[in-house]
Structure 1
Amino acid sequence: MSVTLSALLQPLAAQQPPLRQLFAAEPGRAARFSASACGIYLDYSKNLIDEQSWQTLQQLAAQSPIRQLSQQMQAGAAINNTEQRAVWHSRLRQQDLTNLKLDNEDIGAAIAACREKMAALIEQLHQQQYLGYQGKAITDLIWVGIGGSLLGPQMAVEALTPYHCSPVKLHFAGNIDGAVVSDITRGLDPATTLVVVASKSFGTEETKQNALALRQWFKDAGADSDAIALHFWATSSNIQAAADFGIIEQHILPMWDWVGGRYSLWSAIGLPVALMIGNNAFAELLKGAAAMDQHFFTTPFNENLPVILALLGIWYINGFGCQAQALLPYSHYLRLLPSYVQQLDMESNGKSVDRQGQALADATAPVIWGDAGTNGQHAYHQLLHQSQLKVPADFILPLKVSHSLTDQHQRLAAHCFAQTQALMQGKTLTEAKAECLALGMSEPAATELAPHKVSPGNKPSNTMLLDELSPYHLGALIALYEHKVFCQGAIWELNSFDQWGVELGKQLSGPIYQALSANKPGNFDSSTTQLIQRFLKNS
């Protein structure tokens, strides 16, 4: 790009009229700046955009490689250029798998076979026909993974709690902290527990160490190698490593190089979700994501939900210099969504070089954070409303809910809508003082207190309304954020599908672990050496 995004957008951002003025000047603003698809309604009218700035952003999308890259992605081109891999996670959720080939391999048949194998295992578990080494039915399943192998399924399982139908209890083991496995296994019986190890390489340290700890748990209970083989499954692309661990080939569900970890929910990594909600409901999750794929691939940019969200994000990062994005689901069941999107967005686009390895002139990727409403209103919303920081926010609210507490849902919705209104309009000094006087305060007291009640307003937000939080709508919502991240990466001209920065910490942890296990400080920088010495002295 000959002109940097910041050079293009910052002058426009500096002359942007305030939101109060924009709403006053255009009574139909909300209708004009809204769009819907796949049961998701997006109101983006409370953003700092007018006709000129929005047209500029639309032109930016039109001139970007979004369409070209999306077509290449669908065709199976290696758009993950640093690893020479296709990016085909969207193929995992399409319904028609016929004539789906990549490098002369029948991918469609492989996906179908994996789905059937997953479905058969889940049916066995649901019917309590999967018996452990003592002839008892499986009652608990421990899912061992980290990053994309954990965040996606854990979030989706939580989000779809009202759809749970499994007699098998599910436990997630991710962190290498020994307390995780220790706490999970307390009270469980190895004879009625199944373990699934989720690791594409079968070499991820955290996952492998937790798997080893669980294997030892079985051994300590008297299970031999045959018994352990009966109780351990895996999803991996490294069949040999899984076999070396002791997992039989029949118990290995495939993974593929063309599926990145943070995009793997739709593969066998989704097994925990399918286990808890059933095979039919899991198919609906895939169907919702596939519908959003179709919307993204075929809809004009001015009505395209992922493109709209992507452009607004770039507008704030490169136009206004915003460094954070709040994700605020007004749904208890969606409380893990911010953690999931953290990895999806920050690991994908947290880069400093373009696809050719040249330094980027513009900032990329915000810090994603948030929690379920209304909890955040009693915590960090104070900063959103009154600090000098400008933090764009996505508010998400399901319209229909699974419970019968109608009044509470109406109150939740009222809080959600009020927060976006308050962020937009704020409260002026004149309004704050008038409010104080109306409460009976004296003129001097009102004058003294009023500045503390001022909210600057003009803080941007999006509001997304889901018809309901069903498997279909959750699938569409997740795919919406996937495609948003893809669009931003295309505009920034970076590779959204590698994560080399994650590797450095892994590389450095090896020598440090060796020093710790050998009880020797080693030869590191003074700070690291000092920390090692203190650990060895006091642990």
Structure 2
Amino acid sequence: MASIAQSSEWKALEAHVAQVQATHLKELLQDEARTEAMIREHNGIYVDFSRQNATQNTIKMLVDLANKAGVKDKIQSMFSGEHINTTEDRAVLHVALRAPRDAVIEDRGQNVVPEVWAVLDKIKAFTGKIRSGEWIGVTGKPLTDVVAIGIGGSALGPAFIHSALSTDPVAAAAAAGRSLTFLANVDPVDAVDALQALNPETTLAIIVSKTFTTAETMRNARTVRAWLTGRLGASSVAQHMVAVSTNLPAVAEFGIDPNNAFGFWDWVGGRFSASSAVGIVPLSLQYSFDIMEQFLCGMRDVDEHFLSAPLENNIPALMGLLNVWNATFMGRATCAILPYCQALSKFAPHIQQLSMESNGKGVDINGTLLPYEAGEIDFGEPGTNGQHSFYQLLHQGRVVPAEFVGVISSQQDVYMVGEPVSSHEELMCNYFAQPDALAFGKSAEELKAEGVAEALINHKTFNGNRPSLSILLPALNAFTLGQLLSVYEHRIATSGFVWGINSFDQWGVELGKVLANKVRGAVQSARKEGRELQTGDGFNTSTVKLINRFLAANKITAPTGEKHSFPPGLKI
């Protein structure tokens, strides 16, 4: 099958680049008809694409390319349960996690929606018992503190949602008297940070691992189990630990009642699992199942828009197509995610994984080397903090496409007597100003007219013509948060569909795991034998020197007998 890069649609876009590069955004933004044509709305979501280095014809050509790539068919295939994750022979059905109860979505001829709702009903019942105090700890105290143990997709998405809801008045009221902490990194500092303020008597731990074998997660799970049992006795595991996993034998072997395990399926990729039990269990414990159901409804709203809207009016699809335009055709392979909303402080790290693990591929879905660059480097910080960090580069350094996210109504606005605007209005003034600063810049002529010294003209010149898009939400609550996440999930899938890659596997994470296992064995052997490593142990000279330097300075011996070794912060 010929590469999409050989198509006339692709070649037309390549030829179109020079025309776009020759037209400054100052000129494009003078065309009011173009601006109107570059705005899309869906159920409260307002997206302005007018500051993209793109014309109306660019959008048409990108839609033509998407049609050539079969994007609409691929979207339909995803929603229909076809095994579009070909390298693992799996369906890609995270959309089923938020489907209505009466929907029919099949995998291998079986409707998966009843299974999804069976798990959701179980989550609702379980979290209701914990929140009401019907389920208590071994000392009779209610379990008001939750620590969720997971890594990657098992942590980044739920942590982002938790952070975003924690300052929403409705969600915060539902969370009164409760706490939720995430333990992800195998670094013991993370365990101390997560546990040191908690009381084992009121703590419930959730181990999130599909296979129940993830090295970092299971190490942390054993740490938390030791922390609990060291204070409450071995029997505490049954009351104070539950699991989100499909490996019930391993769950039971760990000491957790399999009835207290919440399942999900191999058609749920980790980075797309926030709307599965991975996110819904800990977040329902914190905020209630009712609020998380609103979140799922928000995701469903955009799922249905993505499935049904024509590409030219489809918000996630257009974002994905413009991502391809910027990263592959315009050669701008970095994207800044810039939420002007402190509650979205953990949004960029989640999108970073969602995007880079999905689309960071060098071969197409058939295993053929790509003749073009795919994927993007994503980073970001909330505004206005980012303005005082890395915006210097955005304005006067490399050209980095930016995606601004703003919220009309603040979760927690502050009005002060004598101030001309509220704190939220001050924030939003910057949200409105920054895209224009990037687009229009400031010319040498303008600076000279202001009397700026000649020696400083070049230093103070802003060339502008730097692309961005602006997303404006009516508010940030469980529903709109679900909408926002679904927009980005489908934006990323659309880009992958055009690039012809498999956005739903992640073989690139495997090699490091294998080598870490090899290093672990070598370190264990060297310590036991009291010797340094040699290149004959299977490592290059550089790695041998690094490991030996580490071992020489860390004369740590493993604890013996029944007593674990913990830092003072864990108070075992």
Unmatched tracts of structure 1, length 5 or more? none
2:251 is equivalent to residue 242 of structure 1: yes
Q: Deviations over 1:282-325 (max 9, x none)?
A: 11111111110111111111110011101111111111111200
Q: Identify the residue that residue 434 of structure 1 maps to in structure 2.
A: 449
Distance 1:485 1:172 in 2: 26
Selected match of 1:113 from 112, 115, 118: 118
The one-letter code matched in structure 1 to 2:74 is: L
Aligned to 1:194: 204
The equivalent of 1:125 in structure 2 is: 130
Shift of 1:275: 2.1
- Structure 1 Cα separation of the partners of residues 484 and 197 of structure 2: 36
TM alignment of 1:134-153, pairs within 5 A: 134-153=139-158
Question: Where does residue 3 of structure 1 map in the other structure?
Answer: 5
Q: What is the CA deviation profile of residues 70-105 of structure 1, one whole-angstrom value per residue up to 9, with x for unaligned ones?
A: 111122111110001111110110123455543354
Q: Deviations over 1:379-410 (max 9, x none)?
A: 100100011x1100000001111223251111
- Residue of 295, 309, 326 corresponding to 2:319: 309
Any residues of structure 2 matched to 1:61-76 within 5 Å, and which?
Answer: 61-76=66-81
The 1-side partners of 2:198 and 2:303 are apart by 41
The structure-2 alpha-carbon separation of the partners of 1:8 and 1:360, relative to structure 1 and needing over 3 Å to count, comes to: farther
**2:351 corresponds to:** 341
- Tell me if the contact between 2:99 and 2:113 (Cα under 8 Å) persists in the aligned partners: no
Closer/same/farther in 2, CA of residues 58 and 107 from structure 1, 3 Å limit: closer
User: Which of 541, 544, 550 matches 1:526?
Assistant: 541
Q: Is the 2:407–2:473 contact (alpha carbons within 8 Å) kept by the matching residues of 1?
A: yes
Describe the shift of the 1:289–1:514 C-alpha distance in structure 2 as closer, same or farther (beyond 3 A).
same
SS at 1:512 equivalent:
helix
Q: Shift in Å at residue 179 of structure 1?
A: 1.1
Which residue is 1:485 aligned to?
A: 492
- Name the residue aligned to 1:356: 366
- Between the aligned partners of 1:38 and 1:143, the Cα distance in structure 2 is 33
CA distance in 2, matches of 1:204, 1:116: 27
Mapped pair 1:474 → 2:478 = no
User: 2:56 & 2:92 partners in 1: Cα distance?
Assistant: 35
Distance 1:383 1:427 in 2: 15
Specify which of 307, 328, 332 is matched with residue 297 of structure 1.
Answer: 307
CA distance in 2, matches of 1:175, 1:367: 22
Check 1:3–1:404 CA distance in 2 against 1; reply closer, same or farther (3 A cut). Answer: closer
Instruction: Give the conservation status (yes or no) of the 8 Å contact 2:34–2:56.
Output: no
Amino acid at match of 1:229: A
Tell me the secondary structure at the aligned position of residue 221 of structure 1. helix
Q: How many Å separate the matches in 1 of 2:518 and 2:233?
A: 34
User: In the alignment, which residue of structure 2 is the partner of 1:265?
Assistant: 274
1:464-498, Cα deviation, whole Å (9 max, x unpaired): 00011111111111011111111111101111100
Structure 1 residue 249: deviation in Å?
Answer: 1.1
Distance 1:238 1:527, change over 3 A: same
Residue 29 to residue 106, structure 1, CA distance change in 2 (3 Å): closer
Deviation at 1:191, TM superposition (A): 2.1
SS at match of 1:328: strand
- Match of residue 439 from structure 2: 424
Q: CA deviation at 1:362?
A: 1.1
Partner of 1:37: 42
Query: Pick from 184, 202, 205: which aligns with 2:194?
Result: 184
User: Of 22, 27, 45, which aligns to 1:21?
Assistant: 27
Whole-Å separation in 2 of the counterparts to 1:52 and 1:107: 41
Deviations along 1:402-425, whole A, 9 cap, x unmatched?
Answer: 223251111111101110000000
Kept in 1, the 8 Å contact 2:408–2:473? The answer is yes
Deviations 1:426-454 (A, max 9, x none): 0111111222x1xxx6xxxx111121110
The one-letter code of the counterpart of 1:71 is Q
- Provide the rounded CA distance (Å) in 1 between the counterparts of 2:57 and 2:110: 48
Q: Report if the CA contact (8 A) 2:332-2:400 is conserved.
A: yes
The number of residues matched between the two structures is 528
Instruction: Give the whole-Å Cα distance in 2 for the aligned partners of 1:222 and 1:402.
Output: 39
Match of 2:566 in 1: none
The verdict on how the C-alpha distance between 1:13 and 1:83 changes in structure 2, with shifts beyond 3 A counting, is same
Aligned to 1:231: 240
Provide the rounded CA distance (Å) in 1 between the counterparts of 2:11 and 2:107.
41
User: Structure 1 53/109 Cα, relative in aligned 2: closer, same or farther at 3 Å?
Assistant: closer
Is contact 1:132-1:230 (8 Å) kept? yes
Instruction: Return the alpha-carbon distance in structure 1 between the equivalents of residues 263 and 492 of structure 2.
Output: 26
SS at 1:368 equivalent:
strand
C-alpha deviation, 1:159, in angstroms:
0.6
Q: Which amino acid aligns with 2:25?
A: L
Letter in 1 for 2:19: Q
| Aligned match of 2:558 | none
Instruction: Work out the CA distance in 1 between the residues paired with 2:252 and 2:431.
Output: 50
With structure 1 as the length reference, what TM-score do the two structures score? 0.95
Which residue among 498, 511, 514 is the counterpart of 1:507?
A: 514
CA contact (8 A) 1:138 1:194 kept: yes
Give the TM-score normalised by the residue count of structure 2: 0.90
CA distance 1:527–1:8, change in 2 (3 Å): farther
Q: 2:425 aligns with which of 393, 410, 416?
A: 410
1:351 match: secondary structure: coil
